[in-house]
Amino acid sequence: MLNQEIIYQYLHAKNYSPIITLLYENGNSLDNDPNVERAIHIFMEQFFNYVKESTKITLLELNHDLDILFITHIKKKYTLRDDHLLTLFHLVSERISPQYIEEVARKFPNDQKCIEFVEKIDRAKALHEKKLSQTSTMNFIPSTQPTSGKKFETEVRSNDQISWVKVYLRSSDLLEIVSIHGRY
């Protein structure tokens, strides 16, 4: 099991991966021991300081550890303290897909970088919604066949190279047939 001496040994050797892996594997149960919890806090502080002071070549090697640490938090394997999470956000926000980091950015409404990130995401979502609504109304193709005597009506729509058909049944008699044909 992990103890504070092991953490300090890896920290002194600047070998961060094994500790991050242990955090991923064992989760916040490691914090049950106050000595280990304190050692993890010291580890995080020293790790982030080392990353901030690293050269570009060293930083490229550390990006893997940073990514695993971020995944560890996102998957709720080991939940980082808010101060560590914010530091991690600042270190990885330029490299990680917005869909994975948005929740973290929204957690810190007073941090300038998080505010800018959230505003950028919101603008992109609004633009996407606007394009989607314009595309779906422009590409609506109503059924032109007469409806009397028909057992169903169809509506064909498309946007951004995706097309779909809506089928409105007047009775459930054709439900099984339509579902079979709809799969192909």
pLDDT tens, position by position, 40-64: 999 999 999 999 998 888 888 899 9
Residue 164 is given by DSSP the state E
User: Are residue 92 and residue 22 in the same domain, yes or no?
Assistant: yes
User: Are residue 86 and residue 146 in the same domain, yes or no?
Assistant: no
Q: What's the confidence (pLDDT) of residue 169?
A: 75
Region 175-180 average pLDDT:
68
User: Are residue 8 and residue 89 in the same domain, yes or no?
Assistant: yes
* Structural domain count of the chain: 2
Query: Long-range CB contacts (< 8 A, 24+ apart) of 143-152?
Result: 152/178
Q: Specify if 177 maps to a domain.
A: yes
End-to-end Cα spacing for the chain: 54
Q: What's the confidence (pLDDT) of residue 153?
A: 75
Q: What's the confidence (pLDDT) of residue 156?
A: 77
User: Are residue 10 and residue 92 in the same domain, yes or no?
Assistant: yes
Domain containing 163 equals 141-182
Q: Which helix (DSSP H) or strand (DSSP E) does residue 92 occupy? A: helix 82-92
Q: Specify if 134 maps to a domain.
A: no
Burial of 119 (0-12, 13-18, 19+ CB in 10 A): exposed
C-alpha distances (whole Å) from 112 to each of 15, 66, 80, 86, 117 are 32, 21, 20, 11, 9
Q: What is the pLDDT of residues 133-165, one digit of tens each?
A: 776 555 545 544 545 556 677 777 777 767 777
Contact 74, 100 (CB under 8 A): yes
Q: Specify if 130 maps to a domain.
A: no
User: Are residue 92 and residue 23 in the same domain, yes or no?
Assistant: yes
Q: Counting runs of H as helices and runs of E as strands, what totals does the chain give?
A: 8, 2
Q: How long a stretch of residues is the chain?
A: 184
Q: Specify if 102 maps to a domain.
A: no
Mean per-residue pLDDT over the chain, rounded: 83
The pTM of this model reads 0.67
